[in-house]
């Protein structure tokens, strides 16, 4: 156990502590982690191959300190922000006229804490923290603490303490709720990151969870036509944003568009396979547009329109008594799109722009082509 000076506080029945941690305490006890789906270099933003300006940070060592998992909640680490903080810490040390971390960081402890008041009934005393590496998790202030870790060698001989608000074994969903509350507004947590947290961690939304899993499958499965093309968590190489797709899917599941009761529940389980096969057939029907560079078929509006008409495709599969995930059956159902709509409809500087395409207008065209496959007069 280590002992740190602390004030015991209470709000709405929740007990926590305002404590003073040394730089070495922070370096040893805090673990750093980001929400990630296992892609390489997803923990740190700004690691492009282009020549980077000189940095005081040993990025090879620092990146090894940052864990990444689907159960974490923190955003990617922003390289530029760490560099700027380290430079600021250097300026503060040299000028000695300002503290570098005057505001409290917010931390959750994985194990039970013990508080010993200075006298009976006092809220001031010593907080006993288990001395185990990585026992503390940053809820707010991770960049400041990472910069401290990156600059720790220059703190030798300095009396340096960090104000910290420490929570004792907060439930995981409460930790995520606090993180989102703190960051969603003033630091502009991106919409795609919020989608991932909302679907699984922040609160259990079955419709959003199903949507989240489908988007993950479309991006992660090698047989998907959108493999590695979706910007999960709002970052990455892909051009397709996660949030609009997930929200469109959520609306369908929330409205029981694929059937209610057991039928709808069963489709949730097989929906990943359906949407991968469905978009594979869309990619075949509009092959030139899907693989061309001057088309908008992979824009958020187009993909949302394809998602929006998916219930009509499923309905026709049911009418044919076909398996909803059958690749060939899906192809037969949407084949009229090739004849009635065609690749040129998605040419960015052509029909797409001329007609002022919206999600609603494209979805209407797709529905009509399914309803009148031979081009009958409406």
144-187 per-position pLDDT tens digit: 888 888 888 777 778 889 999 998 887 777 777 777 666 665 56
The pLDDT, as a whole number, for residue 181 is 66
> CA 251, 254, 255 angle in degrees (round to 5)?
85
Query: Quick one: what percent of the chain has pLDDT higher than 90?
Result: 38
Burial class (CB in 10 A: 0-12, 13-18, 19+), 159: exposed
CA distances from 134 to 31, 32, 334, 350 (A): 4, 8, 53, 56
The Cα diameter of the chain in Å comes to 88
Task: Report how far residue 377's alpha carbon sits from residue 374's, in angstroms, rounded to the nearest whole number.
Answer: 9
Task: Report how far residue 289's alpha carbon sits from residue 346's, in angstroms, rounded to the nearest whole number.
Answer: 7
Report the first-to-last Cα separation within the chain, whole angstroms. 78
* pLDDT greater at residue 14 or residue 294: 294
Region 117-122 average pLDDT: 92
In this prediction, residue 259 has a pLDDT band, given cuts at 50, 70 and 90, of: confident
3-class DSSP state of 163: strand
Answer whether 37's CB lies under 8 Å from 215's CB: no
Q: What's the pTM value of the predicted model, to 2 decimals?
A: 0.59
Task: Report how far residue 233's alpha carbon sits from residue 37's, in angstroms, rounded to the nearest whole number.
Answer: 9
What's the mean per-residue pLDDT of the chain? 83
């Amino acid at each position: 156990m280590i002992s740190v000076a602390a004030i015991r506080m209470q709000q709405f029945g929740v007990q926590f502590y305002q404590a003073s941690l040394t730089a070495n305490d922070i370096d040893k006890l805090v673990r750093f982690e980001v929400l990630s789906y296992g892609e390489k270099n997803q923990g740190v933003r700004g690691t492009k191959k282009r020549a980077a300006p000189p940095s005081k940070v040993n990025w090879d060592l620092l990146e090894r300190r940052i864990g990444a998992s689907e159960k974490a909640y923190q955003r990617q680490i922003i390289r530029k922000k760490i560099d700027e903080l380290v430079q600021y810490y250097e300026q503060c040390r040299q000028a000695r006229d300002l503290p570098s971390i005057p505001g409290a960081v917010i931390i959750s402890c994985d194990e039970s804490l013990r508080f010993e008041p200075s006298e009976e009934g006092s809220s001031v005393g010593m907080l006993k923290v288990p001395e185990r590496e990585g026992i503390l998790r940053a809820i707010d202030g991770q960049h400041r603490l990472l910069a401290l870790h990156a600059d720790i060698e220059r703190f030798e001989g300095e009396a340096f303490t960090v104000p910290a608000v420490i929570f004792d074994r907060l439930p995981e969903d409460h930790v995520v709720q606090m993180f989102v509350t703190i960051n969603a507004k003033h630091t502009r947590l991106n919409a795609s990151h919020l989608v991932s947290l909302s679907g699984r961690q922040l609160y259990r939304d079955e419709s959003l969870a199903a949507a989240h899993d489908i988007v993950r499958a479309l991006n992660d499965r090698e047989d998907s036509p959108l493999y590695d093309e979706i910007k999960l968590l709002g970052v990455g190489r892909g051009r397709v944003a996660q949030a609009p797709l997930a929200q469109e899917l959520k609306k369908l599941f929330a409205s029981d568009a694929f059937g209610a009761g057991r039928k709808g529940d069963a489709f949730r389980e097989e929906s990943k396979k359906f949407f991968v096969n469905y978009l594979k057939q869309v990619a075949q029907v509009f092959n030139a547009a899907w693989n061309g560079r001057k088309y908008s078929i992979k824009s958020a509006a187009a993909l949302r329109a394809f998602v929006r008409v998916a219930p009509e495709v499923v309905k026709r599969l049911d009418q044919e008594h076909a398996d909803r995930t059958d690749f060939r059956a899906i192809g037969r159902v949407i084949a009229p799109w090739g004849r009635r709509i065609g690749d040129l409809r998605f040419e960015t500087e052509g029909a797409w722009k001329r007609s002022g395409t919206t999600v609603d207008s494209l979805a209407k065209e797709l529905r009509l082509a399914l309803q009148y496959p031979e081009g009958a007069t409406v």
